[in-house]
Amino acid sequence: MSCLVSFQCTGPGGKVVQRGTAPKKPSLWNAQVWFILPCGDKFTHSITVPGQTVRGMIPYMEALFDSLAADHGNQVRAAGWTATSHGR
């Protein structure tokens, strides 16, 4: 069973979307956060997050996303994140 949780923002707001079946137990997640700056440069950050459910993963990724956006001066043209798990 696999689960994909993603978020994309190209303007104000954005929406978290879940596809697939969420793991019943805390699982290992592979995640990527990406940003496109006003100059067109693209930055991608990859992480592995152990022991999270979907409910725990979303706020974890939102906090990481906000922190990385601040590292880029909150000046981004587009941004998003994706997390996948193949847990049970």
Q: Which two tokens stand for residue 4?
A: 């994909």
Q: Quick one: pLDDT band at residue 1, thresholds 50, 70, 90?
A: low
User: What span, in angstroms and rounded, lies between the C-alpha atoms of 32 and 34?
Assistant: 7
57's enclosing H/E stretch is helix 54-71
pLDDT surpasses 90 at 11: no
Instruction: Domain 3-85: give its CATH code.
Output: 3.30.1490
Q: What pLDDT is recorded for position 83?
A: 92
Instruction: Map tokens 């981004």 to a residue.
Output: 76
Q: Write down the domain spans for the chain.
A: 3-85
pLDDT, tens digit (0-9, with 9 covering 90-100), for 44-60 = 999 999 999 988 888 88
Strand partners, 4: 19, 84
Q: Quick one: pLDDT band at residue 74, thresholds 50, 70, 90?
A: confident
Q: What pLDDT is recorded for position 78?
A: 86
Q: What pLDDT is recorded for position 18?
A: 87
Sequence-distant (≥ 6) Cβ neighbours of residue 55 within 8 angstroms: none
Q: What pLDDT is recorded for position 77?
A: 86
**0.85 surpassed by pTM:** no
